[in-house]
Structure 1
């Protein structure tokens, strides 16, 4: 599409924003887009980190990167959904920010709406990014930014509960061994596993490791492999390995259940590491196992640093300098530590793994992870995801069998 027609597409893209937004990523001040603030060497940066005020390391890094590029940075923070909506509206008005840090599933929505430049246009270097992470920022063979970091899912475990149940966490290598461990935990009078199966993107995010771990593909929700993943969760509820509360659990409430110290396992992400240290009991992490063994691909969370389209393409040179500074090896590690992210580059991941076995699990999980919009799904993903979480809800509540639920989901997603 030409730029004008792609901008008009932004109106319809608004409908996809809510479903496309990741629930795993984390406004401060008012601020307009680039055109309004071009005079005086000011460049606007929008990000999804409203939890950081002006004294935060992240904000200081933005200021430093602007200074190194010879400009002043004006930063505005929004929550994830607001950020995407405001960016689409600002782009329609020709007033987009110079640099946009945005949740990775939204990149394809903004790209198809004509809001973002390609890295060929902005000259942002992505050669050091891990291909599986970079894929979340690609659409129709083009790349639209650089990942700033990634988070994903693994299984936390309670050492005390497993010891009392006679379970060695190292024995959990596939679905059969995980089921055997859960059976032992229940027999010992303890609680098994908690996770989020809520009927939102958050539920899809948590279901995907089991879906992909079964060998299923998002283009075929009704396959036998897809059904087997739903059946696994359904069986856990039937046997009492997981509580019925998972049907309404968010990732936060699921974590709160695990933090009581009563559960053996919890599916959750890197963003809970700080909270894990506050639980008061010994914990560890293992990868989510695939059905037949190995690490299941989990979805990637995290943001991309992008350069939105500007009326004055001469601004891209300075924007590229800011992005290069934010995604440099030294700054990435500092930022990823602040955000509890795994670095998006192999060298950064190796440095994180060297800090201890806890980070090694997360680095391995990220290396096996997939972008939800990868495989050229782009803006198709939100529609597929919605049908998937509806199917999981239907199966877990008993309103449909796993087979019927996933068959109906595929039919709806194909329309």
Structure 2
């Protein structure tokens, strides 16, 4: 799931362009410790924010594998996610930009707009079978700026024991979801848990309902979006969800589900490790219910893209391009997906991953229909994402109707 520091990212992106012009004149920080005396590049500097295990260790092996394939040593630097853009600014001003940089996918267009990145088309990189929805987040003004090997999205987790005891089948439509959530609500246990918090996490969780019903982020004051928000309000008003969903993060939702306080939850595959550690918890995963039977479910995708900053060093840039291309190869993608509980952005690579981690099946099957949050609004997405979660809050606990809450947010 994406970070929640979009305004800071936007400001940083605006400052990044001028700094990159200075940095490009001086290369990426000299050649004393990264090149042979004959000028050959012997090391690539890579920066990412996978600074916690298992992601850190899994990606270390993947990155080292691609460094070996390219024929260079790896100098990897990891920073906390919220500090990444500030770190890039500092490196830019000191002319020490990395050869390869990882960005949260909603940030790619903002940074590309600053002129900080090299268009990958110019370097001959091939996106292969990466789905069009994922590629949309890596495009800016018709050019490709990032390759994203793996992704994550949302699905419906359910406690198999609780549903079996209640005689409830996993819901596939909104009406079935409302009925199942009501039937599964008993005592201190709610039928459904999700995150309706007033952050980007709340927007992220609402998007599958909004998009699957034909709603659009360009104009959220429409009957289609209001109908999706009414579904959430109905679930809350019926007591099928806790009133606390408006303050729960996705981590909180997972904790409630793991503790047996919710029979179903909307969440992502990053929770698989947490759930597997709970003794006696039996669960399964299905796609989020569609508005009507047979309708497509359209969900957002998370994850990160790999970009190549403009450093002014053609030799290093060429090797960086080979390195990034390697990260989308079958071996790298499979290792990353299995190790981090994500799914390939190329659907053709999914079967090998699902064979090893069957719980990823419901996430992998959504990849062809995944939609980029920045696909239509580009760098303007953060503002509308804020409007969406504010409307959700106003409708659920602010006393406004979904229609009024969405109209106010759109006009604001």
TM-score normalised by the shorter chain: which range applies? 0.7 to 0.9
Q: Which runs of 5+ in 2 are unaligned?
A: 1-6, 15-25, 36-41
1:216 equivalenced with 2:215 (yes/no): yes
Q: Quick one: structure 1 residues 380 and 243, their matched pair in 2 at CA, closer, same or farther if it must change by over 3 Å? A: same
Instruction: Output the CA distance in 1 between the equivalents of 2:210 and 2:13.
Output: 23
CA drift at 1:311: 1.8
- 1:153-173 deviation per Cα after TM superposition (whole angstroms, max 9, x unaligned): 00100112212222011xx22
1:122–1:317 CA contact under 8 A, matched in 2: yes
Cα deviation, residue 15, structure 1: 5.9
Distance 1:53 1:232, change over 3 A: closer
Aligned equivalent of 1:392: 392
Q: Establish whether residue 120 from structure 1 lines up as the match of residue 121 from structure 2.
A: yes
- Contact 2:28–2:99 (CA under 8 A) maintained in structure 1: no
Deviations 1:144-189 (A, max 9, x none): 11112000000100112212222011xx221011111112213688
Name 2:272's counterpart in structure 1: 273
RMSD over equivalenced CA pairs, Å: 2.4
In 2: Cα distance, 1:373 partner to 1:365 partner: 18
For residue 22 of structure 1, what is the aligned residue in structure 2?
Answer: none
> Normalized against structure 1, the TM-score is what?
0.86
Match for residue 252 of structure 1?
251
Aligned residues of 1:212 and 1:298 also touching (Cα < 8 A): yes
- State whether residues 161 and 263 of structure 1, in contact with CA within 8 Å, keep that contact through their aligned partners in structure 2: no
Contact 1:392 1:405 in 2 (8 A): yes
Is the aligned partner of 1:145 residue 2:146? yes
Shift of residue 11, structure 1, vs aligned partner:
9.8
TM-fit CA distance, 1:295: 4.3
Secondary structure in 2 matching 1:304: strand
Instruction: List aligned pairs for 1:351-390, cutoff 5 A.
Output: 351-355=352-356, 358-375=359-376, 377-390=377-390
C-alpha contact 1:395 1:401 (8 A) present in aligned 2: yes
Tell me: CA distance 1:231–1:89, structure 2 relative to 1, closer, same or farther (3 Å): farther
| Shift in Å, 1:276 | 2.1
Question: Secondary structure, in 3 states, of the residue corresponding to 2:198?
Answer: coil
Q: 2-side partners of 1:367 and 1:266: how far apart?
A: 23
Q: Which runs of 5+ in 1 are unaligned?
A: 1-9, 18-32
Residue of structure 2 equivalent to 1:62:
63
* Separation in structure 2 between the aligned mates of residue 71 and residue 38 of structure 1, nearest angstrom: 14
Q: Could you say if the C-alpha distance between residues 321 and 129 of structure 1 is closer, same or farther in structure 2, counting changes exceeding 3 Å?
A: same
- Once the two structures are superposed, residues 76-128 of structure 1 have per-residue CA deviations (whole angstroms, 9 ceiling, x without a partner) of 11122211332244345543211012111111111111111111123222122
Tell me the TM-score normalised to structure 2 length: 0.87
